[in-house]
Every structure is written in C-alpha cells, then in structure tokens.
Chains A and B, each alone.
Chain A
Amino acid sequence: MQRVFEFIAGLLFGIGLILSGMTDPGKVKGFLDVAGAWDPSLALVMGGGVAVAVFAFAAMKRRGVSLFGGAMTMPESASIDRRLLVGSLVFGVGWGLAGFCPGPAVVAAGSGYPQAIVFVLAMLAGMAVHELPVFRTLGPVTRA
C-alpha cells in the first residue's frame, strides 16, 4: 500500500510542477530576470508549497512516526558549512543557465523534450562526479 502512495506522491508533485509553470524554462528565466520584464508568478509556487507543508512538518514533529508506523528519516545536519553554501551557489548558477531545477527537468523529460532529457543525463553525471572519492574530503554527505 505504501508503494502506491510513493508513486502517487510523485504524480501529484509532477502535476503541481506543470501547473505552476516550473517545467517551462522560459517562465523560470522570466522569474529570475528581475532587471527585464519580470514575471513574479513563481514566487507563489514556493510560497504555496511551504504554506501547506509547514502544517505537515509541525504535525510530524509531534507524532514522531509516519502514518504507516515507520520511522521518520529527517536530515540530521544542522550546521551551515562551506559544503552547503558552495553547493547551493553552484546549483543556482546551473538553474539560471538552463531554467531547470531537478524536479521540473525530470517532468519535462517525461514529456519527451530532448533538451530536458539531455539536461537530466548531465545532471545525473554531475551527481555521479560528486560520488568520486576526491570529494569525500569535503566532509560527509547529508540528505536534503
């Protein structure tokens, strides 16, 4: 049963990304281009998502276990370190160049856009590069 909900969560998240406009790199760049003709729509996407999810996270904090009785897997790191800041700065450059972040790129690849498929393959390669031993020296990997 839990398996079904994992698929449905991906489906709903993808539909949300399409409706919001995030799967259109032209719209994302329109949002990131404050000096040009600025399209502020996408500010409502993160705002809307956070406004709903904040209640779920507050409820989970009190409950401690999932509705299926499973343990919660929350990010353990609390420190704002160089890894976090450099990684996020680099991610933003790629986001601004292509107008794609990971979720919308996967959804657009599902639509069959060749540009999205190429982007996703390059993104997976970038993730694989990070797995190389040379980057272990930067400290342990933490999730989300």
Chain B
Amino acid sequence: MSIDWIHFTPWRSLAGGLLLGIATSMFLLLNGRVLGISGIASGLLRPARGDALWRVLFLAGLLASPLVLGAFYSLPESRFDTGWATLVIAGLLVGWGTRLGSGCTSGHGICGLARLSPRSLAATLCFMATGFATVFVVRHLLA
C-alpha cells in the first residue's frame, strides 16, 4: 500500500463530510426522516398519495447543487474510466442492491451509523468490503 499524497484532500473531504452531517441533521430534525438517497429516489417509482412532493423537492435540491455551488466555486471535475456497458451494469446493481438491502452510503453509512444501528453497520461493512474487492479485481487481477 502506498498513499496517493497528490490527490489526498483531507480538509476538503472533511468539510464536505461535515456538511453532509449538517444536511442530514437538518432533514431529520425538521422532517423526522432518515436521509437516504436510494430510499428517497425509489419511493418515486410507485409514489403513495401525498408522499411524492418532498422526494421531488429533495432530489431537485441535489440536482441543482452543482449549479448553485458552481456560481461561487470552481467545481472539481468528475473523472471516468468506465465503459458504457459497465456503467449500465453498475447502475443496475446499485439500484437493485440498494433496494434489496434497504439503503446505500447515506441511509446506512451516515444515518444508520449515526443512530448506532447494528443492521446498518452490517450493511456498511458489506458494501465497503465488495467495493474494495471489486476495485482490486478490476485494477489488479483483470487489468
């Protein structure tokens, strides 16, 4: 293992993380809900009456965030080294997996750990493990 000091951004990443915590706390205190992106998005596929607008507004905020931040700050670039077919397969796996497992990095990783849920800890350990393993296989065994 070697540390990639060139790309290491501890303060910016910590600041971003603290902001995620603030948004999560605000959402919880005002709306009484767990801020989980996969749950919020998938709830729009078959919305119950009166249960759609808050989801749309939250997702609109997410979609608008690059425009708003970009007005004040030079946005970091998103770098891709994944082919289209792999992107589609990955998207299907993320969509299906987060529904089957009832949550993703936000719902289990931030909210679940913050409310000390053993269930979310188990989920987080699982997706971290296969995330690390998948990159290892793709970059070091198949490449």
Does A44 lie within 8 Å of B129, measured CB to CB?
no
User: When chains A and B are docked, how far (Å) is the Cα of A91 from the Cα of B79?
Assistant: 21
Contact of A33 among B42, B69, B75, B135 (CB under 8 A): B135
- Chain B residues positioned under 8 Å from A10 (CB to CB): 23, 57-62, 64-65
B30 CB to closest chain A CB, in angstroms?
5
Contact in complex: A85, B29 (CB < 8 Å): no
Known contacts A26-B81, A67-B29, A50 near B21 by CB under 8 Å? yes
Q: Are A41 and B18 in contact, with the CB atoms below 8 A?
A: no
**What are the residues of chain A within 8 A of B92 when measuring CB–CB?**
94, 122-123, 125-126, 129
Tell me the nearest residue of chain A to B46, going by C-beta: A131
Q: How many B residues face the partner with a CB closer than 8 A? A: 117
Q: Which of A58-103 contact B (CB under 8 A)?
A: 59-61, 65-68, 70-75, 77-80, 83-103
Interface residues on A, range: 35 or more
**What is the interface of chain B mostly: helix, strand, loop, or mixed?**
helix
Q: Which residues of B contact A135 (CB under 8 A)?
A: 100
CB pair A102–B104 under 8 Å, yes or no, is: yes
Partner of B75, one of A83, A85, A111: A111
Please determine whether B20 and A144 come into contact, CB atoms closer than 8 angstroms: no
**For the complex, what is the distance from the CA of A73 to the CA of B77, rounded to whole Å?**
36
Q: Which residue of A lies closest to B133 (CB)?
A: A96
Quote the shortest CB–CB distance from B64 to chain A (angstroms): 6
Top 5 nearest A-B pairs (CB, nearest first) are A10-B61, A126-B95, A48-B17, A14-B65, A20-B16
* Given A13-B20, A20-B20, 16 more pairs with CB closer than 8 A: A19-B12, A20-B13, A22-B16, A24-B77, A29-B135, A36-B139, A37-B4, A41-B7, A49-B17, A87-B97, A91-B94, A95-B130, A95-B134, A96-B130, A96-B133, A98-B90
